[in-house]
Structure 1
Amino acid sequence: MSETLTAPSVLPPAPGAEDYLALDFVNSAIALPGGQVIDALRTPGATNQWLTERGLAPADAGVQEMCTMQLRSLREHLRALFAARVAMLPASPAALSAVNDAMSRVPTAARLHWDENGPYRAVPCPTNEVLDHALATLAANTADLLAGPDAERLTACGSAPCNRYLLRHGRRHWCSTRCGDRARAARAYARRTQPKAG
């Protein structure tokens, strides 16, 4: 069942999402108790809003369903890479290929332009390149996280059914106070309902 609520109205950003846009991106679809899912990329309009709020697209970018599907696909590949990193397993070749393909869509060097004032360099981002720019930015940020020192702190939220990732601080394994409370309540309930040894 899909909820029309937005992720921020339910949970605060997971620890580390303020430092890594990729972490915020993989957490843009949140599983909640009762089978509810909140997806910030559920429609083209919602996707455009998510991208705009993060400086990846202008408000009038006109994101289409095809763009939304490409972003959702990249998100699933990134989630697969995060899961592999957390479990210390080999990465899916398809997920690695998707990230590398996204990074190669946009030139990394600013192009040389010339106008009446002379030469200057600028990175182009006309409307038809907005999606490629967003995909490349998210993929590059993922590569920075997974290949950098913070990768050791990457973990999955320890409170089922939550599917978010976070950067662990100390012993904390939950993405939010709400998830921590739910995990503690589940442990307490399990202790109360265990048969007494006699």
Structure 2
Amino acid sequence: MKEPVIGQPGLPPAQGEEEHLSLALANSAIALPGGHTVDLLGTPVQANRWLTERGLAPVDAGMRETCAAQLRSLREQIRSLFASRAEGLPALPAAVRAINDAMTRVPTAPLLQWDDKTGPHRATPHPTTAIVDHALAVLAADAADLLTAPDAERLTACGSAPCNRYLLRYGRRHWCSTRCGDRARAARAYARRTTSR
């Protein structure tokens, strides 16, 4: 397997990513033709940027490799669950445990804080690990919501090899982007031409 490519692939969001952050997370490692992959969470800086763009972390969160690795690990568990759901197969128990663990690791409400200047107030703690734990909880909860909602019936993998992205299918379209749709149509046309010879 070739090394991952660092950077943006220039693909538009797959259908459903704007409504479901977990779908965007699952699609943050993109397989490209030629055996290349693009990992939008490949470095701590990229992971911080990805979270910031989705309102899950401040720009200056100070992401470390362990935090980025936790995010990539959750991505793989979510991808596993999406694959199981899309293919109608049983889920891996470890993937279910990982989602539940991420959802229950952080408090669901801002905690009571008390200091000499402002007195009592409610706030969420902001050390980097708490930010990441909160982001993981939000992403895991979104995955659980998607997997248990009526939208789960439309969850599918992109139908254009080698693409590995997931989407919510609308109508007959089962490609994550126009580029993948064009590639799949071209492959079918090529197969028809070679078969007819």
TM-score scaled by structure 1? Answer: 0.92
Task: Report Cα offsets for 1:11-45 as digits up to 9, x if no partner.
Answer: 10000000000000000000011001000011111
Cα separation, 2, equivalents of 1:39 and 1:107: 30
Q: Does 1:83 align with 2:76?
A: no
Cα separation, 1, equivalents of 2:44 and 2:125: 23
1:185 Cα offset (Å): 0.3
The aligned runs of 1:1-198 (5 Å cut-off) are: 1-7=3-9, 9=10, 11-114=11-114, 119-196=120-197
Range 17-26 or range 118-127, more displaced:
118-127
Q: 2:56–2:135: 8 Å Cα contact kept in structure 1?
A: yes
1:68 Cα offset (Å): 1.1
Range 138-147 or range 125-134, more displaced:
125-134
Identity of aligned residues (%): 67
Cα separation, 2, equivalents of 1:45 and 1:123: 23
Q: 2:6–2:40: 8 Å Cα contact kept in structure 1?
A: no
Cα separation, 2, equivalents of 1:55 and 1:109: 17
1:2 Cα offset (Å): 1.8
1:187 Cα offset (Å): 0.3
Q: 1:74–1:99: 8 Å Cα contact kept in structure 2?
A: yes
1:117 Cα offset (Å): 6.6
- Note the residue ranges of structure 2 that are not aligned, 5 or more in a row: none
Cα separation, 2, equivalents of 1:191 and 1:20: 37
Q: 1:48–1:57: 8 Å Cα contact kept in structure 2?
A: yes
1:121 Cα offset (Å): 3.6
Cα separation, 2, equivalents of 1:60 and 1:123: 16
Q: 1:71–1:135: 8 Å Cα contact kept in structure 2?
A: yes
Cα separation, 2, equivalents of 1:125 and 1:169: 39
Q: 1:125–1:133: 8 Å Cα contact kept in structure 2?
A: no
Amino acid in structure 2 at the alignment position of 1:60:
D
- Note the residue ranges of structure 1 that are not aligned, 5 or more in a row: none
What is the SS of the residue equivalent to 1:37?
A: strand
Amino acid in structure 2 at the alignment position of 1:95:
A
Amino acid in structure 1 at the alignment position of 2:97:
S
1:4 Cα offset (Å): 2.7
TM-score scaled by structure 2? Answer: 0.92
Amino acid in structure 2 at the alignment position of 1:71:
L
1:76 Cα offset (Å): 0.5
1:131 Cα offset (Å): 1.0
Amino acid in structure 2 at the alignment position of 1:156:
A
Q: Cα RMSD between the aligned structures?
A: 1.6
Q: 2:45–2:63: 8 Å Cα contact kept in structure 1?
A: yes
Q: 2:63–2:128: 8 Å Cα contact kept in structure 1?
A: no
1:119 Cα offset (Å): 5.0
Cα separation, 2, equivalents of 1:38 and 1:30: 5
Amino acid in structure 1 at the alignment position of 2:137:
A
Q: 2:154–2:169: 8 Å Cα contact kept in structure 1?
A: yes
